[in-house]
Amino acid sequence: MAAAFDSPKYQNSLICCSPRTADRDAYSKSSSSTSGCVSADDSFDSLNQIPKTIATKKLKIHSTASRDEVEKAVKQCKELILSSQQCSDERKWLVRYLVELRLRLEDLKDTDGQPRLGVSIKGHHFKQQITPQNRKQYCDHCSGVIWSIVQGSYICSDCGYLCHYKCVDYVCRVCAHVVMTDKGCLEMNICPEKGLASQNYKCAECETALTFKDTWNEPRLCDYTGLYFCATCHWNDQSAIPARVVHNWDWDKHYVSRLAFQMLQLAWNLPYIDVESINPKLFNFIAELEWVHKMRKDLEWMRRYLCACGAGTHLLSPLFMQLGDVNKKYSMGHLQSINDGTLEAQLTVLTESCRAHITSCALCSGKGYLCEVCNNNEILYPFDSGAIMCGKCNSMYHRGCWLRKGQKCLKCVRLEARKISQVATDDTDSNLEYDIDKFVE
């Protein structure tokens, strides 16, 4: 009873405020002696709460136990129940453990005692959980508690979908990893809600009928997809929404469905967000984001120098390779690090290290530029804040020199004059050839 009310299916629901709450609390207090069951919610943390009279008896079985071993454990547990005193803590604990053993036995009967180590369905790649967990686990299909000691369970190696052994054949949710791979991007519209009528008043995942009159099937809105889900498919998980972050820099967490929650977890560290094309005005309001964006451009130029230098390859760290790419996209993890200031500090240290190597290395500094206006010996680089590069010929100038020349590139002026002179010469040669041909005729 208590475990049922703890299920995510009933979190933030009206059922938690029912008059039976007091009875449930009283029941949980009266049955606290049974919390020492080895397959309870906190099984490994409460092993010492097993009644002392049976603590020495080896009742615990492994999660990979065979059907014969489970049947033997059931028989032993029955004998202990009959030999125990009525209404004692020992009998209460044994009865609860017997129920869990019977659940485990039913799971094994469905497969004739041959457990399936792996199952592939709906894009999921399920693997059987062998090691019992110390924390509460709930089935993503039925939202029931998974007793890790006596009940078999599967977990998807791609998206983390968790379900009972007996629920794996009834999974209706497509793997979140498959959905994100096919889509290749995040939803950039803020809660694109269409309404219950567009869903025919059914859950967007399992197609369960939704109604506001029944608290058991109340519709729950997913702030990421804008769709409505039932309580089994929507556990009121909270997450930051990418669209709200990019458009409003809003990091408040909103309720999302289980599918959306798994999708956001998978895509959290993947560079899917092109802030420069979606909302370029955001750089004007978030100073940290603008500074990081500038450092990413500088790192891209530094990468070209370091890739051609054998002594600078040690600076090509995973962080540098991830942020110095040409697509200039961000992940939710990057934006969160910008918000708390950690990414800016890391990039500052990395940028200074790369700059120090390039300016001191003979090979890297030899690929620098000289300003044609002032003709001094100062070496300029594309990542210098006091230098500017021509967008056509990639020539470098001091910003002051560039402004004095009216923002005109001297090299481009020479190339344009040479091109005009070449065209005039070609026209003259063609006219001469025409006159000679006419004279010959």
For 137-192, the DSSP string reads -B-TTT--B--TTTS-EEEETTT--EEETTTGGG--SPPHHHHHHHH-S---SS--
Residue type, 154: Y
Mean pLDDT, to the nearest integer, of 311-325?
71
pTM across the whole model: 0.68
Residue 2 confidence (pLDDT) above 60:
no
Say what the pLDDT of residue 75 is.
86
The torsion defined by the Cα of 104, 105, 110 and 114, in degrees rounded to 10, comes to: 90
Q: Are residues 349 and 379 in the same domain?
A: no
Q: Calculate Rg over the CA atoms of the chain.
A: 34
∠ CA 48-51-55, nearest 5°, is 65
Number of domains in the chain: 4
Select the more confidently predicted residue: 312 or 225: 225
Same domain (yes/no): 188, 287: no
399 and 324 both lie in a single domain: no
Query: Does the pLDDT value for residue 420 go beyond 80?
Result: yes
Residue 119 belongs to a domain = no
**What is the domain range of residue 429?**
369-441
Under 8 Å between Cβ of 2 and 34: no
Q: What is the pLDDT of residue 33?
A: 31
Residue 176 confidence class, pLDDT cut points 50, 70, 90:
very high
The dihedral built from the CA positions of residue 277, 278, 281 and 286, taken in this order, carries a sign that is negative
- For residue 142, being part of any structural domain is answered with no
Q: Are residues 260 and 358 in the same domain?
A: no
Residue 166 lies in a domain: no
Contact 143, 235 (CB under 8 A): yes
Answer yes or no: is 209 within a domain: yes
H/E stretch holding 62: none
Does the pLDDT of residue 31 top 50, yes or no?
no
At residue 5, the pLDDT reads 41
- Residue 14: inside a domain, yes or no? yes
- The per-residue pLDDT for range 362-403, each reduced to its tens digit, is 888 888 888 888 878 888 888 888 888 887 888 888 888 888
Mean pLDDT over residues 255-275, rounded?
Answer: 93
Q: What is the pLDDT of residue 20?
A: 32
Q: Tell me which of 331, 350, 365 is where a domain ends.
A: 365
CATH number for position 258: 3.30.40.10
**Whether 254 and 298 share a structural domain:** no
Question: How open is the CA angle 393-394-399, to the nearest 5 degrees?
Answer: 115
Within this chain, do residues 323 and 389 fall inside the same structural domain, yes or no? no
pLDDT (tens digit per residue) in 100-142: 777 777 767 766 656 567 777 888 889 888 776 677 889 999 8
Domain boundary among 350, 365, 380: 365
Same domain, 353 and 400: no
Q: What is the mean pLDDT of residues 31-57?
A: 42
Confirm whether 155 is domain-assigned: no
Q: Average pLDDT, stretch 13-23?
A: 34
- Do 246 and 181 share a structural domain? yes
